[in-house]
Structure 1
Amino acid sequence: MLKDSMLKINEPMSKHCSLRSGGATSEFFQPTNIDELSEFLKNNKKPVLLVGLGSNLLVRDRGFKGVTIHTKNLKELSISKSLIESGAGTSLAKLSRFALAQLKYGAEFLSAIPGTVGGALAMNAGAFGSEVWEYVSSVKTMSLSGELQNRTPKDYEISYRSTLHRFKNEFFVSATFDFNLEKQNDNVGELLQKRNSTQPIGLPSCGSVFKNPKNHYAAQLIEDSGLKGFCVGGACVSEKHANYIINQDNASAMDIENLITHIQETIKLKHNIALETEIIII
């Protein structure tokens, strides 16, 4: 039986999204393990939203009419036969450190990405020329009715910042990685130094807001359009990195979404390029 204390009602999503903005979710459930999650889903009839670190997510001000499932406790890490298995709630920085401690090379770039394994799999997260699915050996998924499945990369259509599922209504609960490079691809300290010098770390943001269009950089297009520092309400384009939006002064989700739209319209007008968002808006 699930404890009532595990289920919160009308939980503000601003507490669980790195932009520190957004409405409430009708129900908020944080399972301690996969079995609890499965049991919950077998009895659930409401729409489901999966959240890890909430670093790529904006919930509109009117909130989410359903149950938000927080994966932060699904963070087991183990190594067997040189393959690393990680729960979906493990932070990418922690996975990167674990791999390095096991002398497994290739995961260094993950140290610079805010987010969890589940979110990284869902959007094929990447940085510094590497992408997470390059190293995936297999994944475990769960259906919305609580059934576990084993899947391989062949079951997905993987492209730049996109993971298309062949099987609908499944989400990632863990992944097995083969970090198989012969030596370190990157120096983690240098990557973090580079990130900290070019990105507004420590301020409420969601990381990169827009995907890079083919042969262009979103940040450069936004900067060339004179939008650095431009604000809508409490939401502002970062002065440090133009592809970041900062919640500078209690921005509402609508402030942030209106700023995103303004940037897209400006880039379309000035450069005739349609900017696609990386951020998921619920």
Structure 2
Amino acid sequence: MTAFPDITPAIRAAAPGLRGRLLANQSLADLTWFRVGGPAQVLFTPADEEDLSVLLAALDSQTPVTVIGLGSNLIVRDGGVPGVVVRLGGRAFGSVEVEGETLRAGTAVPDVRLAKAAAEAGLDGLAFYRGIPGSIGGALRMNAGAHGGETTDVLVEARGVDREGGLRRFTHAEMGFRYRHSSAPDDVIFTSALFRGRPGDRAAIEAEMDRVTAAREAAQPIRERTGGSTFKNPEGGKAWQLIDAAGCRGLVMGGAQVSEMHCNFLINREGATAADIEGLGEEVRRRVRETSGVDLHWEIKRIGLPLPRS
């Protein structure tokens, strides 16, 4: 496994008041659904929003900062991730509070938990989150959606910390949402968000969530080591149909495979490396481009460095 220089002593010297956990050369593979990838040079788990601000304000401006959430829509390359990887968790970023017709959630909250909290409060409009296997932070960054709903439909505002450690608030308009994308500055680490539902019948909302769950289980390889939808749907089309038409269903590269069940999903079939998975995705893109002229765009986030060629 690649080992980076240990920069944790320098970070602690620059930010002696840090209360969160700093780990040097920490493996990230177990933090991703694919179960692949190299280490973080430093993995930082802040105690709370203030602790995150302290780190970012003290960190050298040349040190890269990368954020990961539940690791459900992520490939960590085999060479690992240089700089500081921030992973939010715990009560400070993992709570949901209901305030009338709104819900305030930390960005480490799984999407499914937000959906359940809304249902329990009798708030409709957020059941679609039951079908998204990520966290609120990722949903904000990519305008996550499923089953007819998107984050843009329910978000009121988001809160985060920028690269200089400053606290930022973003209105819905300032998020600049479009399909699977937000225009919020890349250097902002979202910490919480406010959502608005509408009064509804709890039983009806829970029935809709059950429908979403059943549809997902019937159509997606959710029990495999996968990363969710691999490519964004092109305008006016479906990525899976183009992949299927290109003859890629079941295609194998190393230990990675295009799912037989849903061919817009890649799976770690048997001992895959990150290079196997990403390489398979690029081969799918090549074949789709060759057969249809459509250039598929990755929906899965890919971070870090490849292993150097031997």
TM-score bracket, normalised by the shorter chain, equals: over 0.9
Of 17, 20, 31 in structure 1, the residue corresponding to residue 46 of structure 2 is 31
Equivalent-residue separation in structure 2 for 1:79 and 1:187 (angstroms) = 20
Aligned to 2:74: 57
Residues 176-185 or 87-96, more deviating: 176-185
**Superposed counterparts of 1:219-234, under 5 Å:** 219-234=240-255
Equivalent-residue separation in structure 1 for 2:223 and 2:186 (angstroms) = 36
Equivalent-residue separation in structure 1 for 2:262 and 2:89 (angstroms) = 28
Tell whether 2:231 aligns with 1:210.
yes
Q: TM-score, normalised by structure 2?
A: 0.87
Secondary structure of the residue aligned to 1:236 is: strand
Tell whether 2:96 aligns with 1:81.
no
Secondary structure of the residue aligned to 2:98 is: strand
Secondary structure of the residue aligned to 2:47 is: coil
Q: CA deviation at 1:182?
A: 4.5
Tell whether 2:29 aligns with 1:14.
yes
RMSD: 1.5
Q: TM-score, normalised by structure 1?
A: 0.95
Equivalent-residue separation in structure 1 for 2:18 and 2:51 (angstroms) = 7
Q: CA deviation at 1:81?
A: 3.3
Aligned to 1:102: 121
Letter of the structure 2 residue corresponding to residue 180 of structure 1: R
**Superposed counterparts of 1:108-123, under 5 Å:** 108-123=127-142
Q: CA 1:140 to 1:3, structure 2 compared with 1: closer, same or farther past 3 Å?
A: closer
Q: CA deviation at 1:3?
A: 4.9
Q: CA 1:181 to 1:213, structure 2 compared with 1: closer, same or farther past 3 Å?
A: farther
Q: CA deviation at 1:188?
A: 0.7
Contact 1:53-1:72 within 8 A present in 2 as well: no
Secondary structure of the residue aligned to 2:280 is: helix
Q: CA deviation at 1:258?
A: 0.8
Tell whether 2:18 aligns with 1:2.
yes
Tell whether 2:165 aligns with 1:150.
no
**Superposed counterparts of 1:106-185, under 5 Å:** 106-165=125-184, 167=185, 169-180=187-198, 182=200
Percent identical across equivalent pairs? 32
Of 248, 268, 284 in structure 2, the residue corresponding to residue 263 of structure 1 is 284
Contact 1:139-1:152 within 8 A present in 2 as well: yes
Q: CA deviation at 1:131?
A: 0.4
Could you list the runs of 5+ residues in structure 1 that have no partner in the other structure? none
Equivalent-residue separation in structure 2 for 1:15 and 1:30 (angstroms) = 15
Equivalent-residue separation in structure 1 for 2:274 and 2:259 (angstroms) = 17
Letter of the structure 1 residue corresponding to residue 190 of structure 2: F
Report how many residues are paired. 280
**Superposed counterparts of 1:227-246, under 5 Å:** 227-246=248-267
